[in-house]
Structure 1
Amino acid sequence: ENVFAKWDLNCVCIGEVIEGDRLQYFMYDELVAEVPAESLVLGGGAPVYTRESKEPQYFSDAKKFDINSVDEPQDIKSIAERLIQSPNIASKRWVYEQYDSMVGINNSSTNAPSDAAVVRIKNTDSALVLKVDCNSRYVFADPYTGAAIAVSEASRNIVCTGGDPCAITNCLNFGNPYNPEVYWQFSNAIKGMGDACRKFNTPVTGGNVSFYNQSSDDGPVFPTPTIGMLGLIQNIKIRMTLDFKKKGDSIYLLGESQNDINSSEYLANICGVKISPAPHFDLEEEFKVQNALKDLISKNLVQSAHDCSDGGLFVTLTESAIASEKGFDISTDEFFRKDAYLFGEAQSRIVVSVAPEKEDDFIDALSAHEIDFSRIGEVTASKIIIDEEDFGDISLWKSKFENAISNELQKN
């Protein structure tokens, strides 16, 4: 109660735990109701609604998408510039710095950016790791896969920060559940979320469901099962950051690239293709990649770690470079379309940087794990170079990335 009083918050004791299997309700010290606890919970006697469900037509239409229907771009650099300034990808600094982003003085991510927020636990060597995640475009494309990706990416971000995923809460935003197509989205998203939570051993500790999010003009919102995940770093000294550290460090990609641009920011908002399947995703592959990174971090074999997500590999590399004001020199893979390699959002991939003197130990450690990995380049002083083409200095990209949203808002 003293803690709540300190922050001027209301806190009242409303009951106590008792023996037995009954819930008792009192009004002015008079017992007014008594019910078996089992009757109020799912898995017990609580009613389960089974509503009409129908697969939407767009779902089968999405499966018909063929990457070959999209011409390979000739000017990769101009596309990269548009992506880095997309509202979905550009820095949200202008927004969040207007609030208390320091969490008092407990936020450890301000000057050491990482894939998830790190909050110190006072008087201990440990820290909480927090991440909120969901890409509603993926969930719309495939509710089961998209929801599983939301859980998996939250877990991946926590692992990239040096933490162990512990549990989730959620905020499930959908349209009218009496619409059979909306109910189909909802039920499949729950199944995908459940399977991913079981895989990562992250129980759902609570959450809420928000239905009827729609308008008469545009219909239901994109299904958005937002995941809030909690993790723990046992010793904050091993926390990992996303910024490149030193010129000459090798850059490796953990996980397998795909000839895939499905549901990517590039496909949806640069190419204008709104209907496509969810990106490539395999839950078992995801689990293996995350475990491999845990091992590498515990052995102090990587300098940085940053997951591939919105915007693909190019955005991941650029964010790591911006954070350190370094650059990168990489080569794409001739077995993949260049747009798919750089801008595709296939899951279960992480970019790490490795000091040259630790590279042999790094490779030896990875060889014990059944995952694909490849050396794609190295950290530079400040230049971005792709396939020997000069993309310019990182300072130019940093300006575009950090100012895109404020510039757009000031126009309006």
Structure 2
Amino acid sequence: MASPNADTVTSTDTTEHAAATPDVPQPYLELGLAEDEYARIREILGRRPTDAELAMYSVMWSEHCSYKSSKVHLRYFGETTTPEMQSKMLAGIGENAGVVDIGDGWAVTFKVESHNHPSYVEPYQGAATGVGGIVRDILAMGARPLAVADPLRFGPADAPDTRRVLPGVVAGVAGYGNCLGLPNIGGEVVFDESYAGNPLVNALCVGAMRVEDLHLAHASGTGNKIILFGARTGLDGIGGVSVLASDSFSENTGRKKLPSVQVGDPFTEKVLIECCLELFAQKLVVGIQDLGGAGLSCATSELAAAGDGGMHIVLDRVPLRAEGMTPAEILSSESQERMCAVVAPSDVDAFMAVCAKWDVTATEIGEVTDGEHLVITWHGETVVDVPPRTVAHQGPVYERPYARPSTQDALQADTTASLKRPSTGDEIRETVLKVISSPNQASKEWVTSQYDRYVRGNTVLAQPANSGVIRIDESTGRGVAVSTDCNSKFVYLDPYLGTQLALAESYRNVATSGATPVAVTNCLNFGAPTDPGVMWQFERAVHGLADGCAELGVPVTGGNVSFFNQTGDTAILPTPVVGVLGVIDDVRRRIPTGIGAEAGESLLLLGETHDELDGSAWAHIVHGHLGGVPPKVDLAREKLLAEILVAGSRDGMVSAAHDLSDGGLAQTLVETVLIGQCGARVVLDDEQDPFVQLFSESAGRVLVAVPRTEELRFTEMCTARGLPWRKTGVVDPESGALEIQGVTSFGLDELRETWERTLPALFD
């Protein structure tokens, strides 16, 4: 086959040359490799690595790809996964995305990943390609991507750099997702000083397929062909997971180095999605891998490592969009919208025909061999000859020292007990308005209105609902719900309990929409793993999440670790974002968030309220305080609450529901009446401080609206099952107000103006 790049031959560091020149200096430190890691590579190969091999090892042994600092702790997920939990998964940790069987022959895959550092450098493209990358992970499992969500964290809302980063990130998420025709159905927007200079841009995607259409990333079958298809490979994205700063990778070509942030093209990806789905439908793919972090280095080494033989790649066949690219650059490029497939020789013509139909560039670049090495040649010379598992799966594993910070005791001792609490109706009224108008508690409509939440017509619930709900099967109405949550202040106060609170909130949000929680994904965002305090936070968070999932009986199907999220020596608040997937048999029975206009419906508060204000929105917004211990977690109660909500949805007993979390009951009441555009009258408990009832952030609570005809049946079910409940008000559509009897009252117009004006005033 003639090379499409025959005019780009440059001086090349071959394996033969590497063996003959053992003492040539190499920029391994600049590429992020430690001295002992470089020595280990030389030991594996029995010589120094070539430039191309050094590029591969540097990106694949990076923290992002190898999990070298987190792997020893992540194993705990496997240790705590029971056979029953395992039976729910068709694919789990280690695959491109987790897959669960949801019944009726349907499987659903979902995952959340980070694109934090690129989004700070170039907000639009960093966020856009974060969406594109997670969508391809879902596609690589054989599924049609159905919806996305975006948990986001930024510095202070009024900071100049936030005004640079946030609009670009939101536009990038919107620009890519909207062009793909994928509704954005969930996520979060959180502001905190710790994220200044290090925003968190996490992206989630959910997709569906028939069970028999599941695909995995492996290269099996000697003689099977390796086909690269999608966009051409360019210089953009080099250094995305490991900073390729050395001039040895450009060989003084005179080319201007492009930034390490990838450049996305959603229209190319849209066509690639449809092309892949047709290839799957025609059974033309043996194995498939998307090209994301580490590009071809990752795709080839992981496919070969998961197969039953070796692999030979002819690198000069790779279609390029830049002149003079070296093998190291081609292997490290993270150019977007590319996939790598393993195809039987008898299916190659049909595969190419499908790609031609969709006008997708496809090139046969190699084949599966009966050897044990990944061999990559460049114009007839060998530039890579490595055992693929040493690249993909046998990178360094570190047991980093970790220790509870010496400041943790003082932090937890600094509770909210001494803070002044509002005591009069006027003071409570002022506090409610101050809390709901703060950037974290205010409406996020300025953000979510830029996303197409209803494209393709299968969105059933979307922001600002408790969770996003998407229809999977039009004939039966079967659907799934997804939610992502994390209160990083709680995690900072107690990483173990704080992470369980994040799990509980996400689990509860899914149940509050009427869906049964079935699986978990995560995006673990932390500071530098070289800091023992950060590693202590990480270890505690992993154990908290794993133990919590074991108690709830929901498996962790996969996730992502993002370290080095800090500015100088200041780490972000530990932010283990927890995504929960739920299944609902018929989306017509979903529970909306806002109350309806049915006069006289009862408002019931499920769960118990305690004096738990440490780490609360009130403490931070009113007093600038962070200290104490987070609310208690009762996962058995969370599971019971979820079962009752699902039963209420199934039997038509609940007409609306909203969980209580940040901001407590006051925030939930405001959002409930504003989303439903309907007034309500609330009566607090005479035996408890009104302030505590309104602003406590006790876990395991949901406000539900119940038709009068169903109130007795619903409350008898709660009582019989041991779930505390209290009638706390009625729906009052005629009043046009939220009245908290004996305390204060708000007109809906006043609440709406207060809740909705904050972000537009900051960012318009």
The question of whether the paired residues in 2 share the 8 Å contact of 1:250 and 1:353 is answered with yes
Whether 2:336 is the aligned partner of 1:25: answer no
Deviation of residue 150 (structure 1)?
A: 1.2
* Equivalence map 1:347-386=2 (5 Å): 347-381=699-733, 382-386=736-740
Deviation of residue 66 (structure 1)?
A: 4.3
1:395 matched residue in structure 2: 749
% of aligned pairs identical? Answer: 31
Between the aligned partners of 1:331 and 1:65, the Cα distance in structure 2 is: 32
Give the counterpart letter for 2:581 in structure 1: L
Deviation of residue 314 (structure 1)?
A: 0.8
Deviation of residue 399 (structure 1)?
A: 2.0
Between the aligned partners of 1:177 and 1:136, the Cα distance in structure 2 is: 18
2:605 matched residue in structure 1: 253
Deviations 1:263-321 (A, max 9, x none): 11101221221122112322222222222222222222122111001110011111110
Deviations 1:125-152 (A, max 9, x none): 1112111111111111111111111111
The question of whether the paired residues in 1 share the 8 Å contact of 2:614 and 2:626 is answered with no
Deviation of residue 32 (structure 1)?
A: 3.5
1:264 matched residue in structure 2: 616
Q: 1:8 aligns with which of 267, 271, 294?
A: 271
The question of whether the paired residues in 1 share the 8 Å contact of 2:606 and 2:702 is answered with yes
Judging changes above 3 Å, is the alpha-carbon distance between structure 1 residues 256 and 23 closer, same or farther for their aligned structure 2 residues?
Answer: farther
Q: 331-340 vs 165-174, which deviates more?
A: 331-340
Deviation of residue 68 (structure 1)?
A: 3.1
Computing the radius of gyration over CA atoms, which structure comes out larger, 1 or 2?
Answer: 2
Between the aligned partners of 2:527 and 2:723, the Cα distance in structure 1 is: 39
Give the counterpart letter for 1:68 in structure 2: A
Between the aligned partners of 2:755 and 2:415, the Cα distance in structure 1 is: 31
1:345 matched residue in structure 2: 697
TM-score, normalised to structure 2, is: 0.49
Whether 2:547 is the aligned partner of 1:198: answer no
Q: Secondary structure at the match of 1:7?
A: helix
Judging changes above 3 Å, is the alpha-carbon distance between structure 1 residues 6 and 226 closer, same or farther for their aligned structure 2 residues?
Answer: closer
The question of whether the paired residues in 2 share the 8 Å contact of 1:292 and 1:366 is answered with yes
2:468 matched residue in structure 1: 117
Judging changes above 3 Å, is the alpha-carbon distance between structure 1 residues 66 and 182 closer, same or farther for their aligned structure 2 residues?
Answer: closer
Judging changes above 3 Å, is the alpha-carbon distance between structure 1 residues 191 and 99 closer, same or farther for their aligned structure 2 residues?
Answer: same
Give the counterpart letter for 2:757 in structure 1: N
Between the aligned partners of 1:389 and 1:341, the Cα distance in structure 2 is: 12
Q: CA RMSD of the aligned region, Å? A: 3.0
The question of whether the paired residues in 2 share the 8 Å contact of 1:58 and 1:275 is answered with no
The question of whether the paired residues in 1 share the 8 Å contact of 2:460 and 2:587 is answered with no
Between the aligned partners of 1:312 and 1:357, the Cα distance in structure 2 is: 28
Between the aligned partners of 2:399 and 2:372, the Cα distance in structure 1 is: 32
2:405 matched residue in structure 1: 56
* Equivalence map 1:75-94=2 (5 Å): 75-94=427-446
Between the aligned partners of 2:592 and 2:620, the Cα distance in structure 1 is: 30
Q: Secondary structure at the match of 2:581?
A: strand
TM-score, normalised to structure 1, is: 0.89
Q: 289-298 vs 354-363, which deviates more?
A: 289-298
Deviation of residue 6 (structure 1)?
A: 8.2
Long gaps (5+) in structure 1 = none
1:243 matched residue in structure 2: 594
Give the counterpart letter for 1:72 in structure 2: R
Long gaps (5+) in structure 2 = 1-138, 145-229, 231-267, 280-284, 289-302, 313-365, 375-386
The question of whether the paired residues in 2 share the 8 Å contact of 1:384 and 1:392 is answered with yes
Q: 81-90 vs 297-306, which deviates more?
A: 297-306
Q: Secondary structure at the match of 2:609?
A: coil
Whether 2:641 is the aligned partner of 1:289: answer yes
The higher relative CO (CA closer than 8 Å, separation ≥ 6) is in 1
Between the aligned partners of 1:337 and 1:233, the Cα distance in structure 2 is: 38
Deviation of residue 365 (structure 1)?
A: 1.3
Deviation of residue 36 (structure 1)?
A: 11
Whether 2:580 is the aligned partner of 1:229: answer yes
Deviation of residue 199 (structure 1)?
A: 2.5
Give the counterpart letter for 2:270 in structure 1: W
The question of whether the paired residues in 1 share the 8 Å contact of 2:416 and 2:627 is answered with no
Q: Which runs of 4+ in 1 moved over 6 A?
A: 1-6, 34-37
